[in-house]
Amino acid sequence: MKLITYEVHERIGTITLNRPDKRNALSPSLVMELDQAFDLAERDENVKVIILQANGETFCAGADLAYLQELQQFSYEQNLEDSMRLKSLYEKIFRLKKIVIAQIQGHALAGGCGLATVCDIVFSVSEAKFGYTEVKIGFIPALVMVFLVRKIGEQRARFMLLSGELISAEAAQQYGLVHQLCPTNDLKSVVRAFAAKIARQASAQSLELTKSLLAQIQSRSLEDGLALAASANAHARATDDCKKGIAAFLSKQELTW
């Protein structure tokens, strides 16, 4: 991989966007390498939690400008194929069996904001800006819309997607797009400590089942959602992790997963 790095340390897999000279813009090659890296992290038995971060001053500036120029010559079929690759990446991160934490050290714009949106938990520096600027260049924020409405609700999603305005990290936290703000110098250590805490205190089986249920339940009616939840509950009770966890709880033993 040339445009990202992948490292594993103490059950934490770190995927780093490494195209700082281009503000980590999403070229086809970068999208492909990210897709491969998340596949690798999901299969890696030494990884329990994943951190998505970036080198440079910008987390991700969205689509690569040079590639946007190339797209002008594409047929509908070529554009659809290209769009499906980004759709596949977003969906993969959203449905991944393992927890994905976004570590936002700089602006997350357009498709880059989409990357943050599909992560499970987002930490950001206060200086970062977030936004979907597609309408300002005659494009549409189509793919991310599906995830953003789920995450922050239709009213706030409408403002962000239709205005194309950038919002502060503080506003993004108020919206529910960002979960915690950190001083720049503390961001890495805070995220690492949080990831290590999840790896130590949470069952991998429970995390996987909870993420799977979260991905399915919002599209269901109340009745269907509750039926699905009851079934998942019954399934979870039969897992080895649940039996181990309840036994430790009842005997008042500290359990490290």
Can you list the alpha helix ranges (DSSP code H) found in 25-168?
28-43, 65-71, 76-95, 111-118, 142-152, 154-163
Query: Which H helix or E strand runs over 196?
Result: helix 187-201
Beta-carbon neighbour count of residue 186 at 10 Å? 12
Angle, nearest 10°, between helix axes 142-152 and 76-95? 30
Contact between residue 1 and residue 35 where contact means Cβ atoms under 8 Å apart? no
Contact between residue 3 and residue 55 where contact means Cβ atoms under 8 Å apart? no
Residues acting as catalytic residues: 134
Query: Which H helix or E strand runs over 228?
Result: helix 222-237
